[in-house]
Structure 1
């Protein structure tokens, strides 16, 4: 399975420009015959301008139509990063997943809001996981700060996800955390992790890029740097069965002893 991750500098607050750039990158990745194209967090507004509530997509209508149209045109699956999404009186940080036929197969509202960045003061939190199928394979998606909550990610693995997508807007001072945490989640859950970060600046944030495609052994199959780019790798799904035959952590778990309160 060929997976392409799109990393670019999102224009803070410039929604029209961001849709244009995103379309160009999706078309470029699709022309390289990707099976799945993955975007980063908050690609419609960046993370996040003061007027994000005014800029947010109304019930995700524009984003859903935009991603569905491109998915149908190129017969490609799209994990749509996330967008600022206004539903009623609240704004959510929402990921839409679209299959090759342009159908929305999942929508995920970011569950863990980044309180150091006051995200919780602007956005409402989701409360449901996103586990879905693309091309007959179970997958899951979380968003940025969710990566730090290993219990939340483990739930995806227990739901038999074989690939985890992590759209993010991860800042420069914590690049090493980004790299270590993504590899750790891949190793401990024995699945592929597709971690897609933005680059460039938004306000006081300098995003560190370094999008990564990681296999279940923790090996980095492809990694970007700090520039705009598309990174691509082939995910050999048979690796998952092989690693779980050699080191079956799921068989050896002792959930009867785990109290996470």
Structure 2
């Protein structure tokens, strides 16, 4: 499958302008043959700690935009959105929008306490792995990347981990290192998609990457605003795990 990572800036708390910003990049990725297209964390608003102002109900405009683009291009789209659930709680949801109009939502298990996210968004409680045209895709969001055990738990049934993020410049090297670590230790692809641009005095340097099961960067690891693509294959995951059966040696 051809996969695209869209590394983009975000117009702060202005979803209409941001949707207009990313729409042509989605079209470019689809024109390049991408069947799975990934955007960033809280792709339309930025990583805002004011959910009462920026969060939408599940099925709201930012989710509908993903569904419309999925239908338009016959591709699957993933991005994180601040959403309010039927229970009234706000969550940072990774949303998978399919061409057939259905969605899957994964609620971020680890809110970023350093920024007070845990005080404003409820933590998710369930992992999420879905089939995308025969590829086993596990969803995570940004800060989840620091918690290796969450990824380990899903390794036997995962071909590719997808991680939309708003990872800032002061910890940029952590982002780059952890993406490769999650790929290497789980012998799976990782698609990490980070934003670029500044929010007040906090910069974001991108460094999005599509990484193979041996830790090689297939595409990305750049600082500009752009989509980039790579081909991934579940058969490669199986071949790597057969040649190097390291997962079988885990304890606990």
TM-score by length of 1: 0.91
- Partner secondary structure for residue 248 of structure 2: coil
Asked whether the equivalents of residues 11 and 17 of structure 1 are also in contact (C-alpha less than 8 Å), the reply is: yes
- Partner secondary structure for residue 187 of structure 1: helix
Matches within 5 A, 1:174-253: 174-253=171-250
Asked whether the equivalents of residues 198 and 209 of structure 1 are also in contact (C-alpha less than 8 Å), the reply is: yes
The answer for the alignment partner of 1:8 in structure 2 is 8
The answer for the alignment partner of 1:57 in structure 2 is 56
Matches within 5 A, 1:38-57: 38-48=38-48, 51-57=50-56
The answer for the alignment partner of 1:259 in structure 2 is none
Q: CA deviation at 1:101?
A: 2.3
- Partner secondary structure for residue 82 of structure 1: strand
The answer for the alignment partner of 2:33 in structure 1 is 33
- Partner secondary structure for residue 204 of structure 2: strand
The answer for the alignment partner of 1:99 in structure 2 is 98
| Consecutive aligned runs of 4 or more in structure 1 exceeding 4 Å deviation | none
The CA RMSD measured in Å over matched residues stands at 1.5
- Partner secondary structure for residue 21 of structure 1: helix
Structure 1, unmatched stretches of 5+, are 256-261
Distance 1:234 1:182 in 2: 18
Asked whether the equivalents of residues 11 and 202 of structure 1 are also in contact (C-alpha less than 8 Å), the reply is: no
1:127 matches 2:125: yes
The answer for the alignment partner of 1:20 in structure 2 is 20
Query: 1:121-167: per-residue Cα shift (whole Å, max 9, x none)?
Result: 22111111111010022110100000000011112213x11010010
Structure 2, unmatched stretches of 5+, are none
Asked whether the equivalents of residues 67 and 102 of structure 1 are also in contact (C-alpha less than 8 Å), the reply is: no
Asked whether the equivalents of residues 192 and 216 of structure 1 are also in contact (C-alpha less than 8 Å), the reply is: yes
Q: CA deviation at 1:94?
A: 0.7
1:74 matches 2:73: yes
Q: CA deviation at 1:52?
A: 3.5
Asked whether the equivalents of residues 29 and 228 of structure 2 are also in contact (C-alpha less than 8 Å), the reply is: no
Distance 2:189 2:159 in 1: 6
Q: CA deviation at 1:250?
A: 2.3
Q: CA deviation at 1:16?
A: 1.2
10-19 vs 85-94, which deviates more? 85-94
Distance 1:155 1:204 in 2: 37
Distance 1:150 1:228 in 2: 28
Q: CA deviation at 1:63?
A: 2.9
